Structure 1
Amino acid sequence: MRIGLLRHFKVNCPHKKMMTSKEFREWSECYEKSKVIKKHVDMYGIEWDICYVSDLPRAIVTAQEVYSGNLIIDKLLREVDNAPFIHSDRLRLPFEVWHVCGRLAWLFKSKSQPETVVGTRKRINAFLDQIDWSKENVLIVFHGFMLFNFQRELRKRGFSGEKIRMVKNGVLYQYIQEEHAH
């Protein structure tokens, strides 16, 4: 069995270099509504039997570009929210600091983050428990941080594939499982 993981196209949502926690939150809300920048995706000539996609527009638009069949839209595939790790109207930090520190806050179970590590893993496993394991080639179109966490759960289920450190937009990552373990 083959599972293809694809992060949505790059989102056209520029940001200021320095921002407050409020401006980071406003940027995040803008990002949710922004259009994507379409590009060619190498799908390696694989006939995908089924395509699951996050219910967020950037993922759906991407899935429609790379898959011609019916999409199975699932909110379990939504991105992990990245909230400001502290709230301050005065403190201005580089965008990257807000982004990275929000993810670190998630990892270290900070109350600043709406979803916990355990919650994210439960969501991933709930999704994996419900997919159609009779299909040979399963495509999943969703988000970078979810994809990063998804690979760990696939490995636990006997899949092998590239260990992804930086998830690129519009790049297909493949995981293979020789024997069905279900």
Structure 2
Amino acid sequence: MKIGLVRHFEVAHQPSSNLKLMTPTQLKEWLHEYELSDVKDCLLEPDKGIWETCYSSDLPRAIKTAQKLFAGEIIETKALRELPIFPPTNINFKLPVVLWLFLGRIAWMLSHKSQVESKAMLKERVKYIVDEIILKNDQDILIVSHGFLMIFLRKELLKQGFRGPNFKKAVNGEIYVFEQETYT
């Protein structure tokens, strides 16, 4: 059994009004726009395998990527969504988007109350979806998801006896193939 992990294609999204600095409210609006944005086309190497089933995050950027990579029915699920980020404060001051996103991830790592999903919850969600995919299938699967979540998907696949490439930050549109180890 092979599982291909792919991060959605690059998102074609620019901040509203080309804001360089944002308040927490503006950041939330920007993140909402990002969730609904279209993707840029991405060329893939054709020799990455033929997939029999495809699972995708139910967010538009992942679905659009899956539709370009897979001709059959796509199984959409919230379980493959990216970890949501929220500003760690609602105090009305402006920071660069990159800094807000960094602070949101730090808040998540510290289990700050501003973040809706804890690390334990994320790990449980990833274990659940990987278990479900493996139990329902004995064929080659393509999973279209998001960059941060793919780190946790990779770790879970390794725990479940797969082997595959290491990556710190998944490249948009790159398929990372994991194979289940077979014992003879």
TM-score of the superposition, structure 1-length normalised?
0.91
CA distance in 2, matches of 1:55, 1:77: 7
Q: Give the gaps of 5 or more residues in structure 1.
A: none
- Residue 41 (structure 2) aligns with: 38
Superposed, which structure 2 residues align to 1:1-182 within 5 Å? 1-15=1-15, 16-89=19-92, 91-133=93-135, 134-179=137-182
Instruction: Provide closer, same or farther for how the CA distance between residues 43 and 100 of structure 1 changes in structure 2, counting only shifts above 3 A.
Output: farther
TM-score of the superposition, structure 2-length normalised?
0.90
CA distance in 1, matches of 2:143, 2:21: 34
CA distance in 2, matches of 1:105, 1:21: 14
Q: Higher helix share goes to which structure?
A: 2
Measure how far apart 1:148 and its partner are: 1.8
Measure how far apart 1:140 and its partner are: 0.1
Supply the AA of the counterpart residue of 1:126: Y
Matched pairs, number: 179
Contact 1:43 1:172 in 2 (8 A): no
CA distance in 2, matches of 1:159, 1:104: 30
Instruction: Provide closer, same or farther for how the CA distance between residues 150 and 45 of structure 1 changes in structure 2, counting only shifts above 3 A.
Output: closer
Q: Deviations over 1:70-120 (max 9, x none)?
A: 11111111111111122221x211211111121121112111111111111
CA distance in 2, matches of 1:25, 1:71: 29
CA distance in 2, matches of 1:132, 1:160: 14
Percent identical among aligned pairs is 38
Contact 2:130 2:153 in 1 (8 A): no
Q: Give the gaps of 5 or more residues in structure 2.
A: none
CA distance in 2, matches of 1:129, 1:172: 20
Runs of 4+ in 1 over 6 A off after TM superposition: none
Instruction: Provide closer, same or farther for how the CA distance between residues 24 and 43 of structure 1 changes in structure 2, counting only shifts above 3 A.
Output: farther
Supply the AA of the counterpart residue of 1:107: M
